[in-house]
Amino acid sequence: MAHNHHSHCDCCSHEHNESVHEHHYEHEHHHEHGSLKKSIILIAVTAVLLVIAVIIEKTCNLSTWQLLLIYLVPYLLIGHDTLKEAAEGVAHGDAFNEHFLMSIATIGALCIGFLPGAETQFPEAVFVMLFFQVGELFEGYAEGKSRESIAHLMDIRPDIANVERDGKLLKVNPEEVAVGEIIVIKPGDKVPLDGVVIEGTTALNTVALTGETMPRDAGEGDEVISGCVNLSGVIKVRTTKNFGESTVSKIIDLVEHSSDKKSKTETFITRFARIYTPIVVLAAVLLAVVPLFFGGAFHTWLYRALMFLIVSCPCALVISVPLAFFGGIGGASRQGILVKGASYMDVLAQVDTVVFDKTGTLTHGQFEVSAVHPDICDEHQLLHLAAHVEHFSTHPIGAALRNAFPDEATDGCTVTDVKEISGQGIRAIVEGKVVCVGNTRMMDAVGAKWHDCTHIGTIIHVAIDGDYAGHIVINDKIKEESAQAIADLKVAGVKRIVMLTGDRSEVGEDVAQRLGIDEHYSQLLPADKVAHVERLLTEKTQGNALAFVGDGINDAPVLARADVGIAMGGLGSDAAIEAADVVLMDDKPTKIARAIAIARHTLSIARQNVWFAIGVKLAVLVLATLGIATMWMAVFADVGVTVLAVLNSMRALK
C-alpha cells in the first residue's frame, strides 16, 4: 500500500515538473513577443511626440532652452536604453560600440544649437535615436526568425517518457529513464530515447530529423531513434542509450553550439569592428578640430564630425554577417543537413574535390543476389538449396541468400549435418543430398567441375553430391541516388571526384563506371585511405577544399583529416556525428551538392552585406566630410543599411 502511494506521488511530481517546464517555455515565448510589442508601441509614441515637438517649434516662438526640454521628452523615451548601454560599455572598458557612437552623435546634435551662429539640430537628434531603435527592432525580428528555423529542432525534444516500472506505467522526464528500461510509445507520441522495438509494429515520421516526408516502418528487433514521431501502432521499446547520449540530444546540442565555430568572414568582421571603431572616433575628433586652425566654423565641422560618427557605425556588418550564417545553418538543418559551425560553411563553399568511401556511402552496404546461373537444375531449385544450407549463417552473404528465397523456413525441407569449412563455405545434407555452398576451393575439394562467371560480384558456387549445380552472383546494392549525386556535384563545379574502397578492384571499377566516377582506388585498408586523402590534399589548388564522404564507422580518421568531413548520419551513427563536420541525417548522397549550394548561397549573402554596407558608408562619409550629406542621409547610411542587410541575411533561411 505504502509502495503504491509512493509511486503515485512520484508520478504527480513529474507531472508538476512537466507543467512548470512548459510554463517556463510559454513564459519565455510571451516575454520575447511582449518585448517586440513594447518596442513597436515605444517607436509609435516617440514618432507622435516628435511630430508634436516639430509643430510646437514651427508655431511657437520659444527659446533654445525651452525647445530642448520639449525635444528631450521623445529623445529620452526612445533613447534611454541606448544611453544606458553606452554608459555600461564605458564602465566595463568597452566604450567603442554602436550605442556609444549613437549616444555621442545625438548628444552632440542636441548641443550644437547652443553654439554661436549654429542652427538647432534637435529633430535630427531624436530622429537618429528613433531610427536606430527601428533598426534594433528589425534585427530582433530577424534573429527571432533565424531562431525559429532552428526551433523546429526543439520540436523534436521529447517532454515525457511512459516507462514501465513494477507493472505500472509512469510518466517521467526522459532524463530519468535508465538504459535497458522498457518504454511504451503511443500513436502521436515523440520517441523520447533511442532503443530497440521489443513488441508491436508502427510507422515513424522522421521529417524533423531527416527532412524526409516518407514514414519509416518499425517492428520487433528494429532500432528506433529519439526525435521521430510515432504515427500508427503502440510499441514497446527497450532503451539502449540514456537521454544525454540519445540522437535528439546530440543534434540539438550540435545546432545550439554551431555558432561557437565562427567563419573566417565573421572573425574578420569582429576584429575589423574592434580596430575600426576607435579609428573612426579619432577621425571624427580630428574632423571637428583640425579645420578650426584654418578658420572653419566650429558648429559646421562639429555637425560633420557627428554625421561621420553616425555613418561609420559598424552595426550593419557586425549584425548581418553572423545572422546570414545562422540562417544558412538553420536552413540546412531543415533539409536534414547538420553543419557543425559557420567555419565549415566557409570550407563547404570552396569544395572542388570530393572523395567518397564506397560501402555504405554510394552503396547500401547490404548484399543482395544479382544473378542466378544454374547448370543441372532450375534457378528456383538452386536458390532453394543454397538458402537452406546458409540458414544458420551469420555472414552477410548468408543473409542475402535467405532474403532471395524467403520461403525456405516454411517449406518443410529437412536439413542436417550443417558444417562450416573455414575459408571454403558450408556443407549440409538437404533432403538426403549433400549440398556444398562456397568458393572455388570448396568446389575443388569435392571434385566439382566449376566454371567462372562474366558478371562482376561475389560468386557463390553450389555442388550437389559432388556434381557442379551452378553459381549465384551477389553484389552490394548501389543506392538509387548515387548516380544523380555524382552528376549534381559535376554540375556544381566539383572538378575531381574520387572513390576509395576496400573491395576488390573489379567491383570498385564496376561501381565507378556505373556512377560516372573518373578516379577510383580499390583494396584499401583504413590507413591507405588516409594516405590517399593526404596525397589529394597536397594536389589541390590554393583556396579550394577537399571533402571526404563516409559512413562514419571506420572512416573517422579520414573524416577528421579532410578539410571538411561529411558523414552519412545513418539516422544516428555515433562515430559519424562525432568525427564529421557535416552530417547528412538521411544517408542520401544527393544532399552533398545541396549542402555545397546552401554554403555558397550563405557566403554570397554575407559578402553582399559586407560590400553594400562598406560602399554606402564610404560614399556618405565622403559627402559628410565635404558638407553635402545631411543628418538624414547619415541615418540611412547606418540604420537603413543595417535594416536592408538584415533583411538580405534572412534570405539564407530559404
Residues labelled catalytic:
357
User: What angle do helix axes 298-311 and 264-289 make, rounded to 10 degrees?
Assistant: 180
Tell me the one-letter amino acid at 358: K
Query: Which residues contact residue 418 at a Cβ distance below 8 angstroms, ignoring those fewer than 6 apart?
Result: 389, 391, 392, 426, 427, 428
7 burial type by CB count under 10 A (0-12 exposed, 13-18 middle, 19+ buried): middle
Query: Which residues contact residue 207 at a Cβ distance below 8 angstroms, ignoring those fewer than 6 apart?
Result: 213
Dihedral angle, C-alpha 508, 506, 518, 364, nearest 10 °: -30
Quickly list DSSP for 71-113: HHHHHHHHHHHHHHHHHHHHHTT---SHHHHHHHHHHHHHHHT
Give the C-alpha separation, 255 to 155, whole Å. Answer: 13
Which residue's C-alpha cell is 534572412?
650
Give the C-alpha separation, 398 to 394, whole Å. Answer: 7
Secondary structure (3-state) at 499: strand
Tell me the one-letter amino acid at 278: P
Query: Is 104:305 a contact under the CB 8 Å cutoff?
Result: no
Query: Pick from 445, 450, 396, 382: which is nearest to 419 by CA?
Result: 445
Give the pairing type, strands 519-521 and 161-165. Answer: unpaired
Sign of CA dihedral 164, 165, 169, 174: negative
Query: Which residues contact residue 393 at a Cβ distance below 8 angstroms, ignoring those fewer than 6 apart?
Result: 399, 420, 426
Query: Which residues contact residue 521 at a Cβ distance below 8 angstroms, ignoring those fewer than 6 apart?
Result: 498, 499, 500, 501, 508, 528, 532
Q: Which three cell numbers stand for residue 613?
A: 554596407
